[in-house]
Amino acid sequence: MQRVMATAWSAAAAVMVLLAQYGCRPPPVVHEMTFDSKVIAGRPVAIDRLLVVADVELRYFPEPMFDGFHDAVTNRLAACGVQSSVLYVDPTVLGSDDRVVAELKSSQPNVILVVRAAGADVVGGDRAFSGKMWFDLTLVDARSQAPTWRARSMVDGAVGRWSVSAETGATFATGIVSQLRDDSVLAGCPPRARTWPEIMPPPGCLQERRRALREAASEWDDSRRGAKMRKAPTCDTAAGSQ
């Protein structure tokens, strides 16, 4: 147990250094996405269990976008034979270190992927905007704490309605896993000629349904409660799966 704790704290320290350094199918919301990536290690460690840490302020990575990101990244990594867990860490909120350590002890990944905001040029408010967002991505070996892959990604997309935000997050996640595959960092993924597995239910849908039902349950008026329940998505169609 002491060894697991030491490894978790050691891996967490490496992650914290990185953090300190740096219903209907929605319409297409990502107009362009680019990656400038580099494999640092000559032969990156094989990825069996991957922890993805999204270190992005809520204003540029709202909850629906993270829900879509979470659903897609776990789906894509599973298609590559990788067991994954995803942790959202808003850098403006205290207690991030403890949450990372707890997740490292729980999931015991052998590799960590840190996704960090690197700037934005957007139009709109905190929860609804469109424009370009940049992200720095770093893959870290949990045992040696050494970075093995880095990338800078640009996403030109939109965030707004729940489905739009979730679709943007899902497309971004798909792009990340696709780039890791194309850089030969991830083995066992479907080839480029094949599409990724369908995401079912659609990205972010279960989270949206739970929130809608909780909101309906808080209504005292039966008619209003029923109306809100009927508006909750059924999560029976797949979006963002390509």
Task: List the chain residues with pLDDT less than 70.
Answer: 1-28, 42-44, 95, 236-242
pLDDT digits (tens, 9 = 90+) for 12-51: 655 555 444 434 455 567 888 999 999 987 666 789 999 9
Q: pTM score, two decimals?
A: 0.80
pLDDT of residue 51: 95
pLDDT of residue 12: 60
> If we measure between CA atoms, which residue out of 206, 208, 207, 232 comes closest to residue 219?
232
pLDDT of residue 152: 95
Structure tokens at 45: 């460690």
How far is the C-alpha of 205 from the C-alpha of 210, rounded, in Å?
9
> If we measure between CA atoms, which residue out of 41, 49, 20 comes closest to residue 144?
41
How far is the C-alpha of 89 from the C-alpha of 71, rounded, in Å?
17
pLDDT of residue 97: 74
pLDDT of residue 89: 85
Q: How far is CA 166 from CA 55, 104, 123, 160, in A?
A: 17, 26, 18, 9
Q: How far is CA 63 from CA 82, 185, 210, in A?
A: 24, 29, 13
Query: What's the sign of the alpha-carbon dihedral 8, 11, 14, 16?
Result: negative
pLDDT of residue 140: 93
For residue 64, is the peptide bond before it cis, meaning its omega torsion is within 30 degrees of 0? Answer: no
